[in-house]
Amino acid sequence: MARFRKGRRHKRRAKMLVPVRVRLAGSPITDLRVAHTLDATEQGVKLSGITGDLNVGDVLEINYRNKRGWFRVMWIQEADNPTDRQIGTVNVEPDKNIWTMDFPNEPDEYEESE
């Protein structure tokens, strides 16, 4: 049986389903892959739709509209279909917001399985 613990994020996540282009740091620009976000804050984003090999600790370039940022893979939740897996990332340039929206300033409470 899964146990849950309560936690707090610094900011509330915003539901955000938008297309992005993603590539692994160091790979050629021609290796851009189409993916989509599920939710985001300035500090991180949850992605889905990425195929190919990824590992925790990898750095990704994420392009949204005409902006780009670098994000480190923090966790990967595998799924039966590789395009359904979810990838949690954190912004390695914390002062840079590539999204075109302002995020709520209130903290987010959540439950996390242990």
Q: For residue 53, what pLDDT is reported? A: 86
Q: What is the mean predicted confidence (pLDDT) over 51-75? A: 92
What is the distance between the alpha carbons of residues 64 and 112, in angstroms, rounded to a whole number? Answer: 29
Report which DSSP code applies to 65: T
103 domain-assigned: no
Rounded to whole angstroms, what are the CA distances from 44 to 38, 57, 93? Answer: 11, 14, 10
Structural domain harbouring 33: 16-93
Q: Does residue 28 contact residue 7 with C-beta atoms inside 8 Å?
A: no
101 — pLDDT class (breaks 50, 70, 90): confident
> Does residue 58 fall inside a structural domain?
yes
Token pair of 35, please? 């993916």
Instruction: Decide if 4 is inside a domain.
Output: no
pLDDT, residue 11, reads 60
Amino acid at position 99, single letter = W
The per-residue pLDDT for range 85-95, each reduced to its tens digit, is: 899 999 999 88
Compare 44 and 103 and report the one with higher pLDDT.
Answer: 44
Q: What are the pLDDT digits (tens) for 67-79?
A: 999 999 999 998 8
Give the CATH number of the domain where residue 66 resides: 2.40.10.220
Within a domain: 3: no
For residue 69, what pLDDT is reported?
93
pTM: 0.77
Q: How many domains does the chain have?
A: 1
